[in-house]
Structure 1
Amino acid sequence: MTSIFYSNLSKDFSSILDNADDYNVLIKVGENQNIKEFRAHSVILRARSSYFKGALSSNWITKQNNMIMFNKPNVTPTVFEMILKYIYSGELDLTNQTSEDILGLLIASDELLLEELFTLVSCKKLQDYCFESICEDPLPFITSKSFLSLDKDILFNLLESDNLQIEEVTVWDYLIKWGIEQTSAGLGSSSN
């Protein structure tokens, strides 16, 4: 007879994130005045994310006092906290999260190769929720830094929506900024 206790396992791993003192990774996320440092365990990060499996390999890491130092300035502390909780416990709570944070979560999850967030049905719900939230109040999203790095297919779906509640002139202004950013990014990567 086999017994499976995923709920207890999830709680135990979650408590490791909150209470353990044997961490070996310091992760600094955010930029400017919005920076936070998180403590984590490389073995758990590598087991749950192929991104971390590569990024925390001995070829890529930077160590200081026997501690792996990792910087991720393009992810906000709020988003990274959700990601770490997901990595350790398998739980993702979007209650009271802003549409910008949810979008940041989608972008960061894609970058960190957390495929489960994109393959589960809950991801579709997450995308729908995010899309609806943006359509209802698009200005905070369109004026955020995340907008400039938005995938063209997602942008097309958003602009195609009849529910987008914003003046076309405003959308056009930010669409031009998005296009300039895409062109600049393309030029920068081709010179490397």
Structure 2
Amino acid sequence: MTKFYDRLSTDLTRLLEDPIDYNVTIEKFNETPFNDDHIKELTMENTNISIKMFNIIIKYIYGGTISLEKLENSVIFDLLIASDELKLDELVEYLQTYLIVNNASWLRLNFAKIYRTSYKFKNSKIIQEFCNDIIVKHPNTIFESEYFHSISEDALISILKRDDLQLEEGKILEYVIQWGKAKNPTLPSDIKEWTNNNFLTLKETLKGCLPHIRYFSISGDDVIEKIYPYQQLLEQ
């Protein structure tokens, strides 16, 4: 069991368990009004936090303790997402580190889910870096995956910024253009049919990605094959 906020009194935990002496009611699903006893009732709607998750979190909030040893890895990851939703920054950081130190093999086995989900919550830099460390060594893990075209711009840029990505720069540019096209499915499939507006559309989509391509590393053949047809995307 890990204990947070050591200086907090255990009386807070007793308060959580006391059905009489309380001043806050939190209802997980149903909307409830303020009552006549001036008890502030908080309604948590539009959330994916389960009752099981919330029970763990509320004990952490009151008692500053959490025990993960008997929890499945998938439950711990869901707990991480729920903690981020509730803006429990210290717990979010702790859970990310815990998973990487103790359950890295599970993270790798569930890489696709972990990677995509990590960009859906705010404070996931630790998990994101863990995933990017895998991607730079095994680029096909992401670039040849079925969900590559659906990753976010932030995720793609975080990969492009890495100096140790083990992939030819010409190939990286090719993947980036594929990603941009996927974001604009109405673009003609034959580039010979593209108008100036088509190029401007793709340029706008890729404006955050293109500056991170290392053009000086692209071979002469790739310049002709992969850059020349899309030269309108690039600044002079």
TM-score between both structures, scaled by the size of structure 1: 0.50
Residue among 67, 80, 85 paired with 2:54: 80
Counterpart residue number, 1:26: 26
SS of the residue 1:172 aligns to: coil
Same amino acid, percent of matched pairs = 22
Q: Is structure 2 residue 120 aligned with structure 1 residue 149?
A: yes
For the Cα contact (< 8 Å) 1:14–1:88, is it kept in 2?
yes
Residue among 7, 12, 35 paired with 1:65: 35
Q: Is structure 2 residue 89 aligned with structure 1 residue 115?
A: yes
The alpha-carbon distance between structure 1 residues 8 and 107, as it changes in their structure 2 partners (threshold 3 A), is closer
Q: Distance in 1 between matches of 2:19 and 2:56?
A: 18
Q: Distance in 1 between matches of 2:76 and 2:63?
A: 18
The alpha-carbon distance between structure 1 residues 22 and 142, as it changes in their structure 2 partners (threshold 3 A), is same
Q: Is structure 2 residue 72 aligned with structure 1 residue 98?
A: yes
Q: Is structure 2 residue 95 aligned with structure 1 residue 126?
A: no
For the Cα contact (< 8 Å) 1:28–1:70, is it kept in 2?
yes
Alignment-mate amino acid for residue 17 of structure 1: L
Q: What CA deviation, in whole Å up to 9, does each residue of 1:131-150 have, x standing for no partner?
A: 615335316x7189946725
| Deviation of 1:86 (Å) | 0.5
**After the TM superposition, which residues 155-170 of structure 1 pair with which residues of structure 2 at under 5 Å, given as runs?**
155=128, 157-161=130-134, 168=141
| Deviation of 1:88 (Å) | 0.6
Greater share of strand residues, 1 or 2? 1
Q: Distance in 1 between matches of 2:130 and 2:144?
A: 14
Q: What CA deviation, in whole Å up to 9, does each residue of 1:6-36 have, x standing for no partner?
A: 68932x322322232344323316xxxxxxx
Between the two structures, name the one with larger relative contact order (CA 8 Å, sep ≥ 6): 1
Q: Distance in 2 between matches of 1:133 and 1:78?
A: 25
Provide the aligned C-alpha RMSD in A.
Answer: 4.4
How many equivalent pairs are there? 141
Q: What CA deviation, in whole Å up to 9, does each residue of 1:86-121 have, x standing for no partner?
A: 0010001112223232223333323323233257xx
Alignment-mate amino acid for residue 16 of structure 2: L
Alignment-mate amino acid for residue 54 of structure 2: F
Q: Distance in 1 between matches of 2:20 and 2:115?
A: 36
Unaligned runs of 5+ in 1: 1-5, 30-36, 38-60, 184-192
Q: Distance in 2 between matches of 1:22 and 1:150?
A: 35
Q: Distance in 1 between matches of 2:98 and 2:145?
A: 26
| Deviation of 1:71 (Å) | 1.3
